[in-house]
Structures are given as C-alpha cells and as structure tokens.
Amino acid sequence: MHELAIADSIVQIADRHANGRRVTKVQLKVGHLRQVVPSALAFSFELVAQGTSVEGAELEMEEVPVTGSCRGCGVESRLKEFPLQCRACGSDDLRVLEGEELFVESLEMEEV
Amino acid sequence: MHRTAVKQVVMEGVLDANDALAQANRTQFDEAGTYVVNLMSSPGAGKTALLERTLERMHGKLRLGVLEGDVQTTLDADRLSRFHVPLVQVNTDPGFGGECHLDANMVRSGLSELSLNDMDVLVIENVGNLVCPAEFKVGENTRVMVYSITEGEEKPLKYPLMFRSADLVLVNKVDLLEHLDFDLEQFLGYLDAVNPGVERILASARTGQGVDEWCSWLEERGAPS
C-alpha cells in the first residue's frame, strides 16, 4: 500500500509549509497513471495527520486524466486505457503529456 | 480571536524528498563505479532463486553485491550468504507498520554496511510487491522485473505502474509452461500494451534456462570499462 508512504509525504510537506498555522485543506493533483487508490489515500492521510498541524484537514484530490502526443503524427490523444494509442494513426509511440502528476498544489490554512 | 483563511500555492512533488535522496545514492554509486539494479516482483516470483543462479555463474567474472529488502526476517540473506559476496539485509518493519517497498532512505541506511568500491554491480532485491516499489526511486541505474508465469497473463494491465517502469522483464518459471494454462503470447501482448517493445528474457531459475542470457545482459552493463 504505497498510499501510506504517499500520505506521510503529503503531511510532511503541508506541515512544513504551514509553519505553525492550522491546515484546513490540502489540494493534491494525482495523475491517473500513478495508481493511487483515493479511498486508501484519504484513510492514510487522516491517520498520519493526527497530532500535526494537518490534523482534521480535508484532502482534495484532483485526478488528472492521461494525455499523450504521438511522436509520429503529432496528434494529441486522451488515453482511457492500455494500450496507449494515438487516436489518429494508432501508433503506440506516444509521449505522455499528463497523467503522471503527483504533487501538492496548494494549502488552505487558518491565520490567527 | 479572529481567524481568516489563507490559501498558499505549494506546487511541491510528493516524492521530491525521496527523489533527492535517490539522487544522492546515485552520486555515491557513480563515484564508486557501481552499476545498480533495482530488482522488483511480486512475492514468490523467484527474485532470490534468480540471484542464486546469478551469483553461481558470475563468480570470478563480475563482482556482485546484494542489498536484500524484506518486511521481516533475514531468510533471503541467509540463502545468499553461502556465496560470500557483500550482502546486507534491510528490514522495512521499523518504518510505519512495515513498509511494502524500499525507499531511497532505507537503501541509504544499508549502504554504510557495504563496500561499494569492491563491487561492479549492486543488486537491490526490493520487497515483493507489484505496486509500491515502482513508485520509489532508490538511485538505481536500471529496473529489472521478474514475472512468474504462475501469476497469470493479465497483470501488466492491472499493475501498469511497475511494468511501465521496467527496463527488462524476466519471464520466470517457463519450465512450467506445459503444466499451466498460461498463454505466453497473450501475456507478451499485454506487456507490449503497457510498455511497447520492453526487453524480455524467458527464463527458469530452476532449470537455468535464460540465465546465461540474463547474466550477459548484466555483464554488458555492469562490467568495469
């Protein structure tokens, strides 16, 4: 379950940026290719956040769909499943443009 | 007391801290001239058996070292101790409930017990798991995946993260092909669907099939230049 380790990193990042303030929301971008299970991540996040400035914060996950551009014909495709194929020419030689993201986008905090 | 909400843009990669440590490991490997293989698979796919065959064949040819990752026990390290190569066992269980993968920091903790200067190749045998190890770089030069045909044909589609990140897939236990309903062509088709054209070697750690090919692959990359 890599969600636990991922949750741990998210809490560390948020706690460091919060600098003593209470975090109320963490916005996360997750590419579809990262195989993160949202319910497992939410559960882990709640657990790991306990006792930190992130305790009780909402974890908002935005899933980024997979898109790629064809190295052959240059057409961009939205990719729903494997194999990842160009919608125009059917080639599988694609450069993944989006769908591999895994980053903390922003935090909402309470300022006293 | 008046509280106002503030929003702060962060844009920080969740795995940045791990990636930075992995880069530090890599620098250490490069300075020592050690080529590093991150060996990954499900539990029971045959990573340790393959390593046994590899250590037998490479004796006197390539100076190998092994970092064994497991949640618990030193059973795998015990199996390999008869080869008298530099060997360290890293147990992930002091982590949060026993991590299901090695991360860069855990590998770093094992490096202090290994003399990299005495090794051409370090094989990091990751924790048996088809998802998590793929997410964590440890500083490796290459990723090799052992896949056992007893796992069925469809796993590349179910676990694309690891199959996509592999540079070489060793399809193990092919001596069992005649006893199983496993459809090798279908499996290789699924493999190409997630990682087009990835190198593959059909092998059996039990009979030795494909092991020479694998050892040559390793020697080409790891032999001192």
Q: Which residue has the tokens 């990751």?
A: B126
* DSSP state letters, A59-99: EEEEEEPEEEEETTT--EEEE-SSS---TTT----EEEEES
Q: Is residue B9 assigned to a domain?
A: no
CB contact under 8 A, A8 and B96: yes
Q: How far is CA B218 from CA A59, B87, B186, B199, in A?
A: 44, 18, 27, 13
Q: How far is CA A66 from CA A30, A33, A35, A100, in A?
A: 11, 7, 12, 8
SS3 label, residue A102:
strand
Chain B hits for A19, CB-CB cut-off 8 Å, are: none
CA angle B32/B212/B36 to nearest 5° reads: 20
Query: 5-34 in A: which are within 8 Å (CB) of B?
Result: 5-6, 8-10, 12-14, 17, 21, 24, 28, 33-34
CB contact under 8 A, B8 and A13: no
Q: Hey, CA dihedral for B23, B29, B35, B37, is it positive or negative?
A: negative
CB contact under 8 A, B14 and A13: yes
Residue B32 is part of a domain; what is its CATH number? 3.40.50.300
Chain B hits for A9, CB-CB cut-off 8 Å, are: 14-15, 17-18
pLDDT along chain A (112 residues), means of 10: 90 96 98 94 96 97 96 95 92 94 97 76
How would you class A12 by CB atoms within 10 Å of its CB: exposed for 0-12, middle for 13-18, buried for 19 or more? Answer: middle
- Tell me the mean pLDDT in the region B200-214: 98
- Residue pair B201/B15 in contact by the 8 Å Cβ criterion: no
Query: 32-51 in A: which are within 8 Å (CB) of B?
Result: 33-35, 48
Q: By the CB < 8 Å criterion, does B161 face chain A?
A: yes
pLDDT digits (tens, 9 = 90+) for B105-147: 999 999 999 999 999 999 999 999 998 999 999 999 999 999 9
Q: By the CB < 8 Å criterion, does B99 face chain A?
A: yes
pLDDT (0 to 100) of residue A40: 95
The amino acid at B57: R
pLDDT (0 to 100) of residue B15: 95
- Domain housing B67: 16-220
DSSP code at position B43: T
Number of domains observed in the structure of chain B:
1
pLDDT digits (tens, 9 = 90+) for B65-97: 999 998 888 888 899 999 999 999 998 876 555
CB contact under 8 A, A4 and B97: yes
pLDDT (0 to 100) of residue B61: 94
For chain A, what are the domain ranges? 2-110
d(CA A71, CA A91) in angstroms, rounded, equals 8
pLDDT (0 to 100) of residue B225: 74
CB contact under 8 A, A9 and B132: no
Chain A hits for B97, CB-CB cut-off 8 Å, are: 4
The amino acid at B43: P
pLDDT (0 to 100) of residue B16: 96
Q: Is residue B38 assigned to a domain?
A: yes
d(CA B159, CA B154) in angstroms, rounded, equals 9
Of A4, A103, A112, the CB nearest to B14: A103
SS3 label, residue B143:
strand
CA distance B129 to chain A (A): 9
CA proximity to B141, closest of B218, B52, B48: B218
pLDDT digits (tens, 9 = 90+) for B144-178: 999 999 999 999 999 999 999 999 999 999 999 99
> For chain B, where are the alpha helices, taking DSSP H only?
16-32, 47-58, 75-80, 104-111, 155-158, 160-165, 184-194, 211-222
Q: Can you tell me the ipTM of this complex?
A: 0.91
pLDDT (0 to 100) of residue B92: 83
CA distance A97 to chain B (A): 15
Mean residue pLDDT of chain B comes to 94
- Tell me the mean pLDDT in the region B15-32: 97
Say what the alpha-carbon torsion angle B50, B53, B54, B55 is, to the nearest 10 degrees: 120
CATH class of A2-110: alpha beta
pLDDT (0 to 100) of residue B97: 55
